[in-house]
Amino acid sequence: MHGWPGSFLEFEKLIGPLTDPVAHGGDAADAFDVVIPSHPGFGFSTPLVGRDWKRSDIATVMLELMTRLGYDRFAVQGGDMGAGVAPEIGRLAPDRVIGVHANGSVGSFVGEVDEETAAALTPIEQDRMRRVGEFMQREFGYIAIQSTRPGLIGAMLADSPVAQFAWIHDKFQEWTHPAEVPAGEIVGEQFLFDNASLYWFTTTGGSAAYVGYAQDAGGGAAPSSSGVPTAVIVFAHDVGLRFAEEKANNIVRWTDVEERGGHFAALEEPGLLLDDVREFFRSLR
**What are the structural domains of the chain?**
8-282 (3.40.50.1820)
In the three-class reduction of DSSP (H, G, I as helix; E, B as strand; rest coil), residue 175 is classed as: helix
57, 80, 238, 276: the catalytic one is 80
Q: Where are the alpha helices (DSSP H) in 20-149?
A: 55-69, 81-92, 115-119, 123-138, 141-148
Q: What number is the average pLDDT over the span 186-190? A: 98
Burial class (CB in 10 A: 0-12, 13-18, 19+), 127: middle
Identify whether 213 is a catalytic site residue.
yes
2, 101, 177, 263: the catalytic one is 263
Q: What number is the average pLDDT over the span 11-38? A: 97
pTM above 0.85, yes or no: yes
2, 213, 237, 276: the catalytic one is 213
pLDDT of residue 279 exceeding 60: yes
Given this model, what pLDDT does residue 109 score? 74
Q: What number is the average pLDDT over the span 186-191? A: 98
Identify whether 199 is a catalytic site residue.
no
Identify whether 101 is a catalytic site residue.
no
